[in-house]
Structure 1
Amino acid sequence: MIRPFESVPTNKIYKSAIVLLIFLPVLFINVRSSHNWGGDFAQYINQAKCISEGRSQTETGYIFNEQNPYLGPPTYPIGFPLILAPLYYFFGNNILVFSFLISIFLLALSFVLVKIFNLYFSYLISVLMAVAFIYNPWLLRFKSSIVSDIPFAFFFLLGIYFYLKKFNSEKTKIRFSILLGLLICISMLIKSIGALIICGILFEKIVSSLKNRNFKFVRFHDPLIILGSILFFYILSNYIMFPTDTEHYSFFSTLFNLDNIAGAIKSNYSYYFVLIKDYFSDDVIISSITITLFLLGFIKKIINKPDVADYIFIAYLIIIFGFPAVQGFRYLFPVYPIILIYIAFGFKSIKLNYPSKRNVFLTMALSVLLILNYYNGISSVIKSQKKTLAGPQTSYSIETFHYIQKNTDENSIFAFIKPRVLALYTERQSIGIGIGKSMEEIDRKFSEVGVDYILTVEDKKSKQFENYLEHYTNKLELIWENDRFKIFKRIN
């Protein structure tokens, strides 16, 4: 079999320089100084602010409303806020700096992807696969969001790669097990689902032992050391060095409704199936080929030689399929490189009557065509990145937040469709409105919390807020407005 790059120097520095040169533009594509209304980004930054100021992460000003739990938990896991905290300490709430940090993680992720792909395919094919993934316009648009998914994917996939690369023998050096435990711990601190790595490792050992009928302790020596180091680093960081609230664990567990699990699986399956199909192109022919190759490659790899990445992937899909609400591309993103591996295996399994050398060139040609298909999307992302997004950085938002800070008491409580954003940019407590509740129930909750003001914005209209304003018009007084925002004072 021909191995591309055999005729050129193959030292690590040379290869790393090539990868750096190819992916360096990622640092500068869609790096923004503005953010959309989002919500998660504000919660992460606010928790980072609390960490940098030595305060509890529960003091963000966001008031959790159990009438609308899907809006977001009281706090997120400490991992991503901890990454943001040093930047907040030196630069404050600087979206441009945070956006550049996400770009750095995406650049680092490109190196990890090349390494993972190279475990299964030639180096050149691995680079082309990484290019096809990283330069996808869908991902380049997504990277402007200050959320935890790209940093999580970096540590999550690095942990998988480290295990696949270093743990092929019966017994590995202890320092490798401890290092892998640290990587898994970091991914868990960012997103709890990172625990699937150690679950996949233990499952692989059990399957291997059943096949070989060998349950000797030595086969579980490394996983136990990894598990021990995970627990050590997790307790040290989460409970001793940076003690934090653990409400996010109970919060996510309460979202699962076993009575409607079948409906959730059906809805999520349909949504994520389309995401897998359309990630590279919304062209019907290309997307149909993509899903066919994915299924073919998945079946072939699982039957022939499954490894820990496959077990993690299956477990990951089970969890996100059972999640009670569709969460979008970001939830599938960390395992999409594994999906790409299956697609490549599916393509590789097709028997073409060409010499192997021609197969390599055919693969390269298809990859280049796919990348050229990205041109319009990438061009659109680059052209739009200097525009101010509809969100907290618009002149109307800045004017409104300034008014609130100057003209309302610091203990005032607001109701707003994006309470976490308002809490970050005004340092006022804020709560979201209930969903699927009667106006009386919503008003009772506002009274219970002590809401003083209602803030509305044209960019993010809410039927619930509109109904509330109409229903309680006699209890609300319009005290300020601009072209986008209105502030109503509640009259008791």
Structure 2
Amino acid sequence: MKDSLASASGWYEDTRWRIARHVTLALVGVFFLSTLREGHSWGDDFAQYLRHADNIANRASYSETGYIYNPQNAIVGPEAYPPGLPAALAPVAAIFGANLSAYKVACVFYFLIALLVAARLFAADLSALNGWICLAIVGFTPAYWEVKDGIASEHLFLPLWYAALLVADDWYRRQRVFGSQTLHGILLGGLIFLACATRSVGVVLLPAVFVCEVLIARRATRVGVIALSSAVALLLAQRLVLPASGAGYLEQLRGTTLSSLLANAWADTTSFSLIWQNGHWSGVRRIAGAAFALLGAFGFLRANLPRPTPLGVAAAGYFAVIVIWPSADGLRMILPLLPAFVFYLLLGIQSLTSVAIVAFRSAKERRFAERKPTTQFAFAGSLGLLVFSLASFGAAYSVADFGPIPTGVETPAARDLFDFVRNHTRSDDVCLFFKPRALALYTGRRSSAYPLGTDELEFWRYAKSIGATIIIVRTDAADLAGEDQTSEMLAPFPSRDLEEVFANSQFRVYRWTPPATDVRKMAVQAVEFAAN
């Protein structure tokens, strides 16, 4: 009878928390969808993804996006992106065309799936209460709310990343399989491939599985061998079918220096505190972030010592890669790690209270503590974290901008520019612009980015090498110097061969007719003209 009552109580408890998780997930979805903003920022990764998606939907050449890759400014983006996100967005492109809101809805849907999958992964180590708190914090943090209006690969990468880790965790820690070991290995390999096909950094899952084979299984398992073999085979097939996919990423590593490594390590480490941004008091966020980082580190060590977990191995590998990467874009780079950080933070609270109770109570009380180690203290700590988080989120949203995005590709000035280029330039014109992929998407003109630096000779040499005839510059660059790395390039190099054909409050368009003279001579003429 007692066993039946205990079983019924456990079922009721599980059902109650399951309902709480689903209600919270629904609230996150409603909040995100009801606050989608019009427009899109100037970050033009989205433009290349949409062109790829449109090409898939219309069975056109995948790599024909109109973007001319500039190896002298490789940080803008690769020749072609991996096909994961474009393939997922292709049905949206086929039905809704260039409707940005439709793509944003799809990205919110991917994020909600990620929350479900991550909650399932964390459930084995967190109490039901802490599992719900983790879902609430990750779901409502402004860190994800702010990026919901950007069409980016992170949205799809999140569910694939955590799904792969969930399948790996089921095998390496719990010896559970989906169907059979062979089928489980194929499933894991397929998820690893999809993660890599969405973001190239997903490749860290391959060595993560190998490390799990060595340190967790301590032998070559059928699941691990099949997973690695199938993932590598699929990646090779992708490379053969789409050789340009991801090309150009390695060239970005040329900019890696010791100073960039240190800057990235600092930016990526401190950006975890942005989960608790409040819009008012950055000092409170930083202090709390430092304390949470210590608790999170404690939780990470407790979970991964003496034997690591698939999540711990993959998270460490991912963090190492983004530190090496030359682009110091702290928050965006660590977005896939934020759920894991909150998980380790809550695990740290659970573990620390357990250790404290066992250490400071008498032997008799210690026996009780071992049976129920986190009942009161852990509850208070977790509840305190939830209250602090919701207070921070409320403060941040109280000053958040819920209106149309004030800058970017759908401002009146940008639309006027795109209309002019689309309607008053030749179809074979080649353009130089600071956001070439956006220009190519909205105008249908082949476009490239400026070379980095302010060397006039190099500028004109590159312009001539790609056959550039249209040069577009920003007249408001002086006010936006911190917005883009190429801001110092956004003033026209004077030349007698430039004809201004369009101007508005933010942009000027020049038609360039290069003479047959030597490029070096043109640069000298440009400098002389500027001096006069």
TM-score by length of 1: 0.88
Going from structure 1 to structure 2, the CA distance change for 1:380 and 1:117 (only over 3 Å counts) comes to: farther
Secondary structure of the structure 2 residue equivalent to 1:373: helix
Distance in 2 (alpha carbons) for counterparts of 1:181 and 1:68: 34
Secondary structure of the structure 2 residue equivalent to 1:478: strand
Secondary structure of the structure 1 residue equivalent to 2:496: helix
Q: How far has the Cα of 1:304 moved from its partner?
A: 4.0
Structure 1: which 5+ residue stretches go unaligned?
A: none
1:150 aligns with 2:155: yes
Distance in 2 (alpha carbons) for counterparts of 1:118 and 1:194: 23
Superposed, 1:95-134 pairs within 5 Å as 95-134=100-139
Which residue pairs with 2:377 in the alignment?
359
1:408 aligns with 2:416: no
Q: Deviations over 1:233-277 (max 9, x none)?
A: 4455664xxx3233524x22222249x543332111111121124
Which residue pairs with 1:184 in the alignment?
192
Which residue pairs with 1:322 in the alignment?
324
Distance in 1 (alpha carbons) for counterparts of 2:77 and 2:243: 15
The amino acid of 2:64's aligned partner reads E
From 200, 206, 217, the equivalent of 2:208 is 200
Please say if residues 265 and 321 of structure 1, whose CA atoms lie closer than 8 Å, have aligned partners that are also in contact.
yes
Going from structure 1 to structure 2, the CA distance change for 1:458 and 1:57 (only over 3 Å counts) comes to: farther
Which residue pairs with 1:262 in the alignment?
258
Which residue pairs with 2:225 in the alignment?
224
Distance in 2 (alpha carbons) for counterparts of 1:184 and 1:201: 10
The amino acid of 2:227's aligned partner reads I
Distance in 1 (alpha carbons) for counterparts of 2:437 and 2:309: 41
Going from structure 1 to structure 2, the CA distance change for 1:445 and 1:55 (only over 3 Å counts) comes to: same
Going from structure 1 to structure 2, the CA distance change for 1:473 and 1:77 (only over 3 Å counts) comes to: same
Q: How far has the Cα of 1:78 moved from its partner?
A: 1.0
Q: How far has the Cα of 1:7 moved from its partner?
A: 6.7
Secondary structure of the structure 1 residue equivalent to 2:407: coil
The amino acid of 2:253's aligned partner reads F
Q: How far has the Cα of 1:288 moved from its partner?
A: 2.3
Going from structure 1 to structure 2, the CA distance change for 1:41 and 1:366 (only over 3 Å counts) comes to: same
Q: How many residues align?
A: 477
1:306 aligns with 2:308: yes
Q: Which has the higher contact order (CA 8 A, sep 6+)?
A: 1
Distance in 1 (alpha carbons) for counterparts of 2:395 and 2:54: 38
Q: Deviations over 1:169-223 (max 9, x none)?
A: 298532222222221111110012223223212211212465xxxx4xxx42111
Q: How far has the Cα of 1:37 moved from its partner?
A: 0.8
Please say if residues 215 and 307 of structure 2, whose CA atoms lie closer than 8 Å, have aligned partners that are also in contact.
no
Going from structure 1 to structure 2, the CA distance change for 1:467 and 1:203 (only over 3 Å counts) comes to: closer
Going from structure 1 to structure 2, the CA distance change for 1:303 and 1:429 (only over 3 Å counts) comes to: same
Which residue pairs with 2:459 in the alignment?
442
Going from structure 1 to structure 2, the CA distance change for 1:466 and 1:187 (only over 3 Å counts) comes to: closer
Going from structure 1 to structure 2, the CA distance change for 1:450 and 1:278 (only over 3 Å counts) comes to: same
Distance in 2 (alpha carbons) for counterparts of 1:468 and 1:153: 35
Distance in 2 (alpha carbons) for counterparts of 1:327 and 1:337: 18
Please say if residues 33 and 99 of structure 1, whose CA atoms lie closer than 8 Å, have aligned partners that are also in contact.
no
Please say if residues 196 and 202 of structure 2, whose CA atoms lie closer than 8 Å, have aligned partners that are also in contact.
yes
Superposed, 1:26-45 pairs within 5 Å as 26-45=31-50
1:484 aligns with 2:506: yes
Secondary structure of the structure 2 residue equivalent to 1:414: strand
The amino acid of 2:432's aligned partner reads A
Please say if residues 480 and 488 of structure 1, whose CA atoms lie closer than 8 Å, have aligned partners that are also in contact.
yes
Distance in 2 (alpha carbons) for counterparts of 1:237 and 1:468: 37
Q: Deviations over 1:98-132 (max 9, x none)?
A: 11111111111111121122121112211111211
Superposed, 1:64-75 pairs within 5 Å as 64-75=69-80
Secondary structure of the structure 2 residue equivalent to 1:60: coil
1:248 aligns with 2:246: yes
Which residue pairs with 1:396 in the alignment?
413
Please say if residues 52 and 86 of structure 1, whose CA atoms lie closer than 8 Å, have aligned partners that are also in contact.
yes
Q: How far has the Cα of 1:280 moved from its partner?
A: 2.1
Please say if residues 29 and 108 of structure 2, whose CA atoms lie closer than 8 Å, have aligned partners that are also in contact.
no
> Alignment identity in percent?
21
Distance in 2 (alpha carbons) for counterparts of 1:26 and 1:102: 14
Q: How far has the Cα of 1:302 moved from its partner?
A: 2.9
Please say if residues 274 and 331 of structure 2, whose CA atoms lie closer than 8 Å, have aligned partners that are also in contact.
no
Q: How far has the Cα of 1:73 moved from its partner?
A: 1.1
Which stretch shifts more, 360-369 or 406-415? 360-369
Q: How far has the Cα of 1:26 moved from its partner?
A: 4.3
Which residue pairs with 1:169 in the alignment?
175
Please say if residues 136 and 280 of structure 1, whose CA atoms lie closer than 8 Å, have aligned partners that are also in contact.
yes
Which stretch shifts more, 17-26 or 393-402? 17-26
Q: Deviations over 1:336-387 (max 9, x none)?
A: 2222222222222323559743235412243133212211223444xx3332
Please say if residues 26 and 107 of structure 1, whose CA atoms lie closer than 8 Å, have aligned partners that are also in contact.
no
Secondary structure of the structure 2 residue equivalent to 1:338: helix
Going from structure 1 to structure 2, the CA distance change for 1:391 and 1:468 (only over 3 Å counts) comes to: closer
Distance in 1 (alpha carbons) for counterparts of 2:504 and 2:452: 27
Q: How far has the Cα of 1:325 moved from its partner?
A: 2.6
Secondary structure of the structure 1 residue equivalent to 2:109: helix
Which residue pairs with 1:6 in the alignment?
10
The amino acid of 1:267's aligned partner reads A
Secondary structure of the structure 1 residue equivalent to 2:345: helix
Please say if residues 57 and 245 of structure 1, whose CA atoms lie closer than 8 Å, have aligned partners that are also in contact.
no
Which residue pairs with 2:63 in the alignment?
58
Q: Deviations over 1:75-107 (max 9, x none)?
A: 111111111111111111111001111111111
Please say if residues 474 and 507 of structure 2, whose CA atoms lie closer than 8 Å, have aligned partners that are also in contact.
yes
Going from structure 1 to structure 2, the CA distance change for 1:112 and 1:458 (only over 3 Å counts) comes to: farther
TM-score by length of 2: 0.82
Distance in 2 (alpha carbons) for counterparts of 1:18 and 1:150: 21
Distance in 1 (alpha carbons) for counterparts of 2:144 and 2:26: 19
Which of the two has higher C-alpha Rg?
A: 2
Distance in 2 (alpha carbons) for counterparts of 1:478 and 1:339: 52
